[in-house]
Amino acid sequence: MSQFKKIGLVGRLGSEAAYYSLQRLILFLQKQGVEIFLDEETAASAPVTKLPRLERDALADQCDLVIVVGGDGSLLSTARSMCRTGVPLLGINRGRLGFLTDILPEEIERKVGAVLEGRYISESRFLLDCHVYRGGQLMSSGTALNDVVLHPGEYIRMIEFELYIDKEFVYRQRSDGLIISTPTGSTAYALSVGGPIMHPGLDAIVVVPLNPHTLSSRPIVVHGDAEIRVVVGDQRDIRPHVTCDGQTHQVTTVDDEIVVRKKPEKLCLIHPEDHDFYEICRNKLGWASHSGNGY
């Protein structure tokens, strides 16, 4: 008997390929005798009508497992809304890279079946809480599984800010912005601007400058429990934006403070039992394959 009795499904909106895989997944799960619930937002746009529907918060509260059919962006969105409950997430890839959604569509029956039988790897990923203050007053809050980014917004202009880590001054910088990334996000935006790849099991945060005016400015890796504070400088005619996973955003002004810390709640992510982080890196990033002469 599967330990997962109630399974929630979330699909990538507007994707016919995701809807096809969602239907295939539903047919398979129905044969396993589990209760299936469909995310309300997914059901509103998907050609699936006979399953019970739940709002995403209710889905997280009532299900033993949530399966996301889509890309990493779909899983990021689901993770931000469901991490408070600790419900495990499993991803079926109908996007592009698939660092988080690591089951291929043609593997649904075999690999989801193995998960239901208890053959899987479970890992914990931490998220970031982001708070923006103005004159000591909280203006906005956000959650990120990948990264918190300070950037110029609609203008391609350098911005100025000060960086503090655990209340210690680090530097004042002029650049296109700053990325504050978890290990999960280290293979996303941070990687594209020269940040290090971090194993997802690390308890660390990386701070990556975006095209800094000073070439000696490099990524800094700090402890996962560090408090990172960014103070926005005088930008004259632009107002930098703060985004969490490229979704929620806040427009800032001079002297605003952006405070980023590890979120108390963690994401439980499930992988097939043959999951291999380095194999995913080889496949997704084009690394050379094994020569056969090693271990």
Domain membership flag for residue 295? no
* CA 80 remoteness from chain centre: 8
Looking at the fold, whether 140 and 60 belong to one and the same domain comes out as no
Q: For the domain that residue 221 is a member of, what is the CATH number?
A: 2.60.200.30
Domain membership flag for residue 294? no
Domain membership flag for residue 290? no
Q: In terms of residue numbers, what domain contains 148?
A: 127-264
Looking at the fold, whether 101 and 158 belong to one and the same domain comes out as no
Looking at the fold, whether 66 and 169 belong to one and the same domain comes out as no
Domain membership flag for residue 133? yes
Q: For the domain that residue 25 is a member of, what is the CATH number?
A: 3.40.50.10330
Looking at the fold, whether 144 and 91 belong to one and the same domain comes out as no
pLDDT of residue 230: 98
Domain membership flag for residue 75? yes
pLDDT of residue 94: 84
Domain count, the chain: 2
Looking at the fold, whether 58 and 101 belong to one and the same domain comes out as yes
Residues paired with residue 171 on neighbouring β-strands, in sequence order? 163
Domain membership flag for residue 291? no
- Catalytic residue annotation: 72
Q: Which of 30, 20, 28, 26 lies closest to 39, judged by CA?
A: 26
* CA 266 remoteness from chain centre: 12
Looking at the fold, whether 106 and 216 belong to one and the same domain comes out as no
Looking at the fold, whether 153 and 246 belong to one and the same domain comes out as yes
Task: Say how far apart CA 7 and CA 288 lie, in whole Å.
Answer: 38
Do residues 53 and 37 touch, judged by C-beta distance below 8 A?
yes
Do residues 173 and 212 touch, judged by C-beta distance below 8 A?
yes
Spell out the per-residue pLDDT of the chain, length 295, in tens.
578 999 999 988 887 888 899 999 999 999 999 999 999 988 888 766 678 999 988 999 999 999 999 988 899 999 998 998 999 999 999 877 678 888 999 999 999 999 999 999 999 999 999 999 999 999 999 999 999 999 998 777 899 999 999 999 999 999 999 999 999 999 999 999 999 999 999 999 999 999 998 878 899 999 999 999 999 998 777 889 999 998 878 999 999 999 999 999 999 999 999 999 998 899 888 888 776 666 6
Looking at the fold, whether 223 and 192 belong to one and the same domain comes out as yes
Looking at the fold, whether 255 and 147 belong to one and the same domain comes out as yes
**Tokens matching residue 250:** 């806040």
pTM comes to 0.93
Looking at the fold, whether 225 and 140 belong to one and the same domain comes out as yes
Task: Say how far apart CA 185 and CA 208 lie, in whole Å.
Answer: 11
Looking at the fold, whether 253 and 136 belong to one and the same domain comes out as yes
Domain membership flag for residue 1? no
Domain membership flag for residue 204? yes
Looking at the fold, whether 277 and 183 belong to one and the same domain comes out as no
